[in-house]
Amino acid sequence: MSFAKSLRCRECGREYPLEPSHVCEFCFGPLEVVYDYDAMHRNITRETIERGPASIWRYADFLPVDIEYAVDINAGYTPLIRAKNLGERLGLTNLWIKNDCANPTWSFKDRVVTVAATRARQFGFDTLACASTGNLANSVSAHAARAGLRAYVFIPSDLERGKIVGSSVYGATLVAVDGNYDDVNRLCSELADKYRWAFVNINMRPYYAEGSKTLGYEVAEQLGWRAPDHVVAPMASGSLYVKIWKGLQELARLWLIDSVQTKMSGAQARGCSPIVTAHEHGTTNVRPVRPQTIAKSLAIGNPADGYYALKVMEESGGYGVASDDAEIIDGMKLLAESEGIFAETAGGVVIAGLAKLAREGKIRSDELTVAYITGSGLKTQEAIEDALAIPLHIDPTMASFEHALGERARDTAQAGA
């Protein structure tokens, strides 16, 4: 049995039963799951967690679902890697990478979808749906296949090929909408009123969003039960960023870690930075923008959790940081070349932002810093392929190889001169 008690409006505090709904009928504020923390405190210890499976389900007691309904393709419990090489390049002596590319559909979205799909099955839905910037479409399609549910996934029509193929392959009905994510989301909100489908990030959003808390829990556990000093995380709607903070706060509340002093820094692409821009202007009033960036997975111009992200940034003493497309590509290359991790454009946004914060002295060199890498670069190859060296092309002879090698050395020397 889950320790979730009810849904509560984040604005006026009114409570609602655990149902597939996401807005307060009274003030239209967003709803959030509340838990019986006293019961959790009596039942959960570090040992009960450590005995659990090597997946998100080791934190089942923190999630608003009953595990007998679990739709499980083994999301979560991804590697936390000490990034010594990258740290040396950036002047950071205690840098770690949380590599969420290592999820079943190669992005952190498997965390949120496994929770939403499980709750959808518990509610008796037979259809999963979503409005997606790409990775969510992949994950919803895969989880629906696993659960034997139908899936309708809605995406902007200009998405990367890898994200389109990575949804269709699971047998989902893919709907490419001529418009940007904010148009797709608006359409899906209308559809969610008419069809009795579980839109994971609309009517199921309170449950879905809780899955991201596990990115806070896991990092704390992997660090030996402590919170990082500094976090750099990507922001699209801002939900992931806010829930990492909530996850850390919950661990402290349940006495599983000491009090949380983590500075939460959030990274966006300059071509879609409504949250960072509001932070720079010292306001919590987020002004919607029209996205124009290669970081399509983060291209939400009207972020649902922007206001709450800004509150976390302020409360934790973190920073907002934005990078342009060239810096994003450099960030992708830097991470790949220094640590052997091929991240998508959102990872480039995080590494570019991390580098900037380090350069500006906003991250102290000895702070225990965790950078969240949330999706795999194999899905966004078109963003970076023109910025990479082309293969040496040779005949199958020693002479041809050595000739080509000589040419490459000369080109490299010229480029460096």
> Which positions touch ligand PLP (CB under 6 A)?
107, 109, 135, 234-241, 297-298, 344, 346, 374-375
Show contacts with Zn ion in window 261-290 (CB under 5 A): none
Give which of 302, 279, 276, 305 is closest to 289, Cα–Cα.
302
Q: Which is nearer to ligand PLP, 331 or 375 (CB)?
A: 375
State the minimum distance, in angstroms, from the CB of residue 344 to ligand PLP. 6
Q: Which is nearer to Zn ion, 12 or 54 (CB)?
A: 12
Give which of 139, 321, 345 is closest to 241, Cα–Cα.
321
Q: Which is nearer to Zn ion, 24 or 70 (CB)?
A: 24
Beta strand segments in 324-407, E? 369-373
Q: How far apart are CA 335 and CA 148, in angstroms?
A: 37
Q: Identify whether the C-beta of residue 222 lies closer than 8 Å to the C-beta of residue 47.
A: no
State the minimum distance, in angstroms, from the CB of residue 101 to ligand PLP. 9
Q: Which is nearer to ligand PLP, 188 or 235 (CB)?
A: 235
State the minimum distance, in angstroms, from the CB of residue 347 to Zn ion. 36
Site string for Zn ion, 122-161 (x = CB under 5 A): ----------------------------------------
Span of 3-11, 216-224, 249-257, 298-306 interacting with Zn ion by CB under 5 A? 3-11
Q: Which is nearer to ligand PLP, 94 or 132 (CB)?
A: 132
Binding status of residue 6 toward Zn ion by CB under 5 A: no
Six token digits for residue 117:
């799909």
Binding status of residue 11 toward Zn ion by CB under 5 A: yes
State the minimum distance, in angstroms, from the CB of residue 26 to Zn ion. 5
Q: Which of 24, 115, 251, 310 binds Zn ion (CB under 5 A)?
A: 24
Sign of CA dihedral 245, 231, 257, 259: negative
Q: Which is nearer to Zn ion, 19 or 366 (CB)?
A: 19
Q: Identify whether the C-beta of residue 180 lies closer than 8 Å to the C-beta of residue 290.
A: yes
Q: Which is nearer to Zn ion, 9 or 343 (CB)?
A: 9
Q: How far apart are CA 237 and CA 124, in angstroms?
A: 28
Q: How far apart are CA 5 and CA 174, in angstroms?
A: 35
State the minimum distance, in angstroms, from the CB of residue 184 to ligand PLP. 13
State the minimum distance, in angstroms, from the CB of residue 321 to ligand PLP. 15
Show contacts with Zn ion in window 28-67 (CB under 5 A): 29
Which of the 8 DSSP states describes residue 337?
H
Q: Which is nearer to ligand PLP, 86 or 346 (CB)?
A: 346
How many residues touch Zn ion under the rule CB under 5 A: the total is 8
Q: How far apart are CA 129 and CA 149, in angstroms?
A: 10
| Residue in the structure block whose two tokens are 């409005």 | 131
Look at the chain and count its residues: 417
State the minimum distance, in angstroms, from the CB of residue 316 to Zn ion. 25
Judged by beta carbon distances under 5 to 8 A according to partner kind, the member of ligand PLP, Zn ion, none in contact with residue 9 is Zn ion
Q: Identify whether the C-beta of residue 236 lies closer than 8 Å to the C-beta of residue 306.
A: no
Orientation of helix 239-253 relative to helix 214-222, angle to 10°: 60
Q: Identify whether the C-beta of residue 326 lies closer than 8 Å to the C-beta of residue 77.
A: no
Judged by beta carbon distances under 5 to 8 A according to partner kind, the member of ligand PLP, Zn ion, none in contact with residue 107 is ligand PLP
State the minimum distance, in angstroms, from the CB of residue 360 to Zn ion. 39
Give which of 266, 262, 264, 246 is closest to 254, Cα–Cα.
246
State the minimum distance, in angstroms, from the CB of residue 140 to ligand PLP. 12
Q: Identify whether the C-beta of residue 316 lies closer than 8 Å to the C-beta of residue 245.
A: yes
Six token digits for residue 271:
């071509």
Q: How far apart are CA 227 and CA 225, in angstroms?
A: 7
Beta bridge partners of 320: 266
H runs (alpha helix) in 15-66: 37-43, 46-50
Site string for Zn ion, 365-384 (x = CB under 5 A): --------------------
Residues near Zn ion (CB under 5 A) are: 9, 11-12, 14, 24, 26-27, 29
